[in-house]
Amino acid sequence: MKLLIIDDEARTRELLRKHIPWEEIGITEVRTAHNGLVSLDITSDWRPDVILCDVRMPKLNGIGFATQYRKIDPKCPVIFLSGYSDKEF
């Protein structure tokens, strides 16, 4: 399986990518992106099986990315994460 991690915080992206034993749960390839626009570019020629996505990011937030990506791959699971405690999203 392939995983795409999308988060504007470099530290969060790298902690998720490097410190979780993805192979143990069947994820063999992990890529990262720092916002939704970059993610759309990555997914134009590479299809993840699951996406782990921050909600608030510059340029294109997680909700906007997921809305656009659903047109490309409506069945890919998108898991949102956020460090904010508000309920805006």
Q: In what order do the strands lie in the sheet with 2-6?
A: 29-33, 2-6, 50-54, 78-81
Q: What is the pTM of this model?
A: 0.91
pLDDT surpasses 60 at 69: yes
Q: Give a yes or no: residue 62 inside a domain.
A: yes
Q: What distances in angstroms separate CA 49 from CA 15, 27, 72, 86, one per listed residue?
A: 20, 9, 13, 29
> What is the pLDDT confidence band of residue 37, given thresholds at 50, 70 and 90?
very high
> What is the pLDDT confidence band of residue 32, given thresholds at 50, 70 and 90?
very high
Q: Give a yes or no: residue 86 inside a domain.
A: no
Give the pLDDT mean for 17-26: 95
Predicted pLDDT of residue 24: 96
Give the pLDDT mean for 48-72: 95
Q: Give a yes or no: residue 87 inside a domain.
A: no
Q: Is 27 helix (H, G, I), strand (E, B) or coil?
A: coil
Write out the residue range of the structural domain in which residue 64 sits: 2-81
Q: Give a yes or no: residue 50 inside a domain.
A: yes
Predicted pLDDT of residue 86: 60
CATH number at residue 21: 3.40.50.2300
